[in-house]
Structure 1
């Protein structure tokens, strides 16, 4: 898969502004002009990539919509949980992500709060911990222990965004082309 295919398949809900973040494990990326151009274009749209972990051959990258991630982490309940996990209070997003990197590298695995970064409801993260990953109501983009109907709606919207973006990439468009076209359509709708 090329970069556009990976981003479309794994990150369309985040790139499209439906979800605060996605996490992808992938082979190490060797930087080239195409990758740099894509990353710079995503940054201009408020989407950023942050390497959380790497080994000799693999990387774990967080792709996040900065505004959505900040908004989702601002909830008092989520902040309370993050504070218990040692996250620095009243910090900027860089410090928060830096702490997540430290937790991943120290634990050698995913700390449960990574789900909060990915937009999972706190009730589902706590339900996963309490039930040790068993006894969920449904399993889709995550294991649901709370509101099943809301989760199904989100799963459907995420899948639709993924399918639409993948189809456009399959038809020869880059993710940057798609974002630029969506911005133009958005502006046209506002003018009409």
Structure 2
């Protein structure tokens, strides 16, 4: 007896595989230890369109995060996932905001204006290295990477660590903890349960 493939079922499985991969990558953003994550959307135009449709379908009513779709100058697509509550906490640090003002962000701090400015810069030819602040990396590491300050490079993990390693290790460990929690959720829940959970 030949079994017929239920195309809708196959589509749902493939869609959930991609979404689960995204959820694993942005677990720390969803759970709040990381304010944002940027993800490249690979593939030809049709593949990108399908992946973006899946992202929009899954995350459009998400209560924990928002997202921005970014088109780069070379036609690439990126998605910036944002935990606004965590982002507000990061940008409540006056040193971070003062540095962002120094590199050209609006003088008057407002989260939406800063996110808009970051998106504009992500669409430009020159990559905005200050994105490290928005990704939750310690300011000292962002400053060191950009050539400001007196900190020396001491290690490379997911980013370059400058100066005191302990501050960076704590941030890194929090990111990894939340990613592990999200991975466990992905392994034990179906896509509908995950949608309700986040």
TM-score normalised by structure 1 residue count: 0.77
Q: CA RMSD in A?
A: 2.6
Q: Secondary structure at the match of 2:115?
A: helix
Alpha-carbon separation, structure 2, partners of 1:69 and 1:23: 14
Alpha-carbon separation, structure 2, partners of 1:7 and 1:56: 26
Q: Which residue of 2 aligns with 1:189?
A: none
Alpha-carbon separation, structure 1, partners of 2:49 and 2:163: 37
Q: Which residue of 1 aligns with 2:171?
A: 154
TM-score normalised by structure 2 residue count: 0.75
Q: Which residue of 1 aligns with 2:147?
A: 130
- In the alignment, structure 1 segments of 5+ residues that lack a partner are 183-192
Counterpart selection for 1:38 from 45, 58, 61: 58
**Larger Rg belongs to:** 2
What is the deviation of 1:97? 1.6
Does residue 52 (structure 1) correspond to residue 90 (structure 2)? The answer is: no
What is the deviation of 1:172? 4.5
Kindly indicate whether the alpha-carbon contact (under 8 Å) linking 2:122 and 2:128 is maintained by their aligned counterparts in 1.
yes
Alpha-carbon separation, structure 2, partners of 1:56 and 1:151: 33
Q: Which residue of 2 aligns with 1:190?
A: none
Alpha-carbon separation, structure 1, partners of 2:80 and 2:55: 16
Q: Which residue of 1 aligns with 2:83?
A: 65
What is the deviation of 1:157? 2.7
Counterpart selection for 1:85 from 89, 103, 119: 103
Kindly indicate whether the alpha-carbon contact (under 8 Å) linking 1:5 and 1:166 is maintained by their aligned counterparts in 2.
no
